[in-house]
Amino acid sequence: MLTRSIYAFIVAALAALASATPGSAAESPCPPVLDHKFASLQDGPVSLCRFRGKVLLVVNTASECGYTPQYEGLEGLYRRYRDQGFAVLGFPANDFGGQEPGSNKEIAQFCRVNYGVTFPMFAKTSVVGAKANPLFRQLATRTGKPPRWNFHKYLLDRAGQPVAVFESAVEPADPKITSQIEKLLAAR
């Protein structure tokens, strides 16, 4: 038998839940661009929907590219802004110059040992052409800019909409990127 105080508490808690702010990340539907599952480098499938409500930098990566040292800058961005609702999503691809020949296990080890990568990395994939994964197909279609080389970057707002594209040569710590990230993080 419920006492009046327990009953009142339960009613108040249910009312609070019912009036919770709509549109919070946990309640909002998954944006179409994020409505995909990909295997991570070391684990099983990960739904990109878990990143809804975050500002995202989506990057195609490669371990044997002249831009490979950008892993360090990407990790720096991730550590700097992750507590504010930001994530870097790395997608290794062997599409450009055969510069990602390793297995998923080798890529994971390379990233961890050489650059201390802790941001989410996904299994090796294709990011251009007929075999491009659906995320990169959508990003290329929406922006009109498919990757032309490794370390091509798409910046997405909290609603999952691409808002900026950065070519491979733009370093992660470049103010062109950081100012956009900060602007998107400030907009709630």
Could you list the active site residues?
65
Element (H, E) at 15: helix 4-18
CA distance 43 to 25: 24
Residue 14 backbone zone (phi > 0: left; psi -120 to 50: alpha; other: beta) = alpha
For residue 30, with 0-12 CB atoms within 10 Å meaning exposed, 13-18 middle and 19 or more buried, which class applies?
middle
Please answer whether residues 104 and 110 qualify as being in contact, where contact means their C-beta atoms are separated by less than 8 angstroms. Answer: no
Element (H, E) at 89: strand 86-92
Coil, strand or helix at 19: coil
CA distance 80 to 185: 12
